[in-house]
């Protein structure tokens, strides 16, 4: 059985204060006066989806949280501590990152090697995760294109991240390269795993129906300069399944989010 750590019962998970991002010494601001707060919910992780136009700074924001970039202005805290390079959150980028000289199994098992888990256990658990993402039979292939397709490589990266079970998982358009059938399957997988995880997922997507299906909270960014302007609580049953998409409430939420997106983007 897969085991999942409980990451609950902490202070604010993520807090950003007065964030500004400029690349030309403050003449132009891509992000300005941006605040963001993800509070801790007792006994439950958070599933937060970020929506915003292309180029508005969503990936930049994830890089701040991951400790890969510092904002020009303002501060980023995780659990009340300012982010530094040692606090790295695991991140799945839209450009999936696997080690091409290693097999699929070793790529996924690597998540546990860093934690000092023995070889047999880490291979067993990697196989279990590979089965969940539909990659059984590919374990011994090298994790490289075109031995594996783009979508398969993306699933290798996702399997590794899920097995690492980080407290905060940053997913930047993770399902972008997947066909619709795999994408729906991965949505359900992620949704189910998240419920066992109790970890916090910050998920960037352009797909509004995906956002509503997965999220507990959706945050929408305005553009030029960017900051968060809307928070929409997704008041759907905690347990999500395909049936939720038949719920009129789901459809209403999708329409509502779409309306807000259109309004926010026409304001700029």
Ligand X SMILES: Nc1ncnc2c1ncn2[C@@H]1O[C@H](COP(=O)(O)OP(=O)(O)O)[C@@H](O)[C@H]1O
57 binds ligand X (CB under 6 A): yes
Task: Report which of 115, 26, 20, 32 is spatially closest to residue 71, judged by C-alpha positions.
Answer: 20
Single out the segment in contact with ligand X by CB under 6 A; choices: 38-46, 54-62, 99-107, 140-148. 54-62
Q: Are strands 227-233 and 217-222 parallel, antiparallel or unpaired?
A: antiparallel
69 binds Mg ion (CB under 5 A): no
Binding marks (x or -) toward ligand X, 28..47, rule CB under 6 A? --x-----------------
Binding marks (x or -) toward Mg ion, 84..123, rule CB under 5 A? ----------------------------------------
**Residue tagged 């590979």 (tokens):** 130
The structure tokens listed for 119 are: 């070889």
CA distance readout (Å), 21 to 80, 158, 171, 224, 253: 21, 29, 21, 11, 31
Q: Which does 27 bind (CB under 5 to 8 A by kind): Mg ion, ligand X, none?
A: none
Contacting ligand X (CB under 6 A), which of 14, 16, 49, 56?
56
Pairwise CA distance, residues 10 & 203, whole Å: 21
Q: Which does 55 bind (CB under 5 to 8 A by kind): Mg ion, ligand X, none?
A: ligand X
Task: Encode 116-136: b = buried (16+ Cβ within 10 Å), e = exposed.
Answer: ebeeeebbebbbebbebbbbe
Pairwise CA distance, residues 248 & 234, whole Å: 13
Interactions with ligand X, residue window 1-30 (CB under 6 A):
23, 30
Strand partners, 98: none
Single out the segment in contact with ligand X by CB under 6 A; choices: 50-58, 79-87, 115-123, 257-265. 50-58
Calculate the CA 142 to chain-centre distance: 25
Host H or E run for residue 29: none
Would you say 170 and 90 are in contact if contact means Cβ atoms under 8 Å apart?
yes
100 binds ligand X (CB under 6 A): no
Rg over alpha carbons for the chain, rounded to the nearest Å, is 19
Would you say 169 and 161 are in contact if contact means Cβ atoms under 8 Å apart?
yes
Single out the segment in contact with ligand X by CB under 6 A; choices: 55-63, 79-87, 193-201, 238-246. 55-63
Pairwise CA distance, residues 99 & 145, whole Å: 11
Contacting Mg ion (CB under 5 A), which of 17, 59, 144, 192?
59
Single out the segment in contact with Mg ion by CB under 5 A; choices: 23-31, 36-44, 58-66, 254-262. 58-66
Contacting ligand X (CB under 6 A), which of 8, 17, 44, 59?
59
Contacting ligand X (CB under 6 A), which of 32, 58, 125, 155?
58
The CB-of-69 to ligand X minimum distance in angstroms stands at: 9
Q: Which does 97 bind (CB under 5 to 8 A by kind): ligand X, Mg ion, none?
A: none
Interface with Mg ion by CB under 5 A: which residues?
59
Interface with ligand X by CB under 6 A: which residues?
23, 30, 52, 54-60
């Amino acid at each position: 059985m897969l085991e999942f750590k409980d990451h609950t019962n902490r202070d604010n998970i993520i807090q950003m204060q007065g964030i500004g991002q400029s690349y030309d010494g403050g003449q132009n601001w891509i992000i300005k006066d941006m605040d963001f707060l993800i509070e801790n919910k007792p006994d439950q992780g958070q599933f937060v989806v970020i929506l915003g136009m292309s180029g508005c700074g969503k990936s930049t924001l994830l890089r701040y949280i991951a400790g890969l970039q510092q904002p020009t202005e303002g501060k980023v805290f995780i659990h009340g501590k300012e982010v530094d390079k040692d606090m790295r959150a695991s991140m799945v980028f839209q450009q999936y990152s696997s080690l091409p000289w290693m097999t699929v199994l070793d790529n996924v098992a690597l998540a546990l090697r860093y934690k000092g888990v023995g070889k047999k256990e880490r291979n067993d658990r990697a196989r279990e995760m590979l089965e969940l993402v539909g990659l059984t039979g590919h374990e011994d292939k090298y994790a490289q294109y075109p031995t594996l397709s783009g979508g398969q490589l993306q699933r290798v990266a996702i399997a590794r991240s899920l097995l690492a079970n980080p407290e905060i998982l940053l997913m930047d358009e993770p399902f972008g390269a997947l066909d619709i059938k795999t994408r729906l399957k991965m949505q359900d997988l992620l949704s189910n795993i998240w419920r066992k995880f109790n970890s916090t997922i910050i998920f960037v997507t352009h797909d509004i129906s995906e956002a509503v299906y997965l999220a507990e909270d959706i945050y929408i960014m305005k553009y030029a300069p960017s900051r968060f302007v809307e928070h929409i609580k997704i008041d759907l049953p905690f347990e999500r399944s395909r049936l939720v998409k038949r719920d009129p409430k789901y459809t209403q939420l999708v329409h509502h989010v779409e309306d807000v997106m259109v309004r926010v983007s026409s304001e700029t």
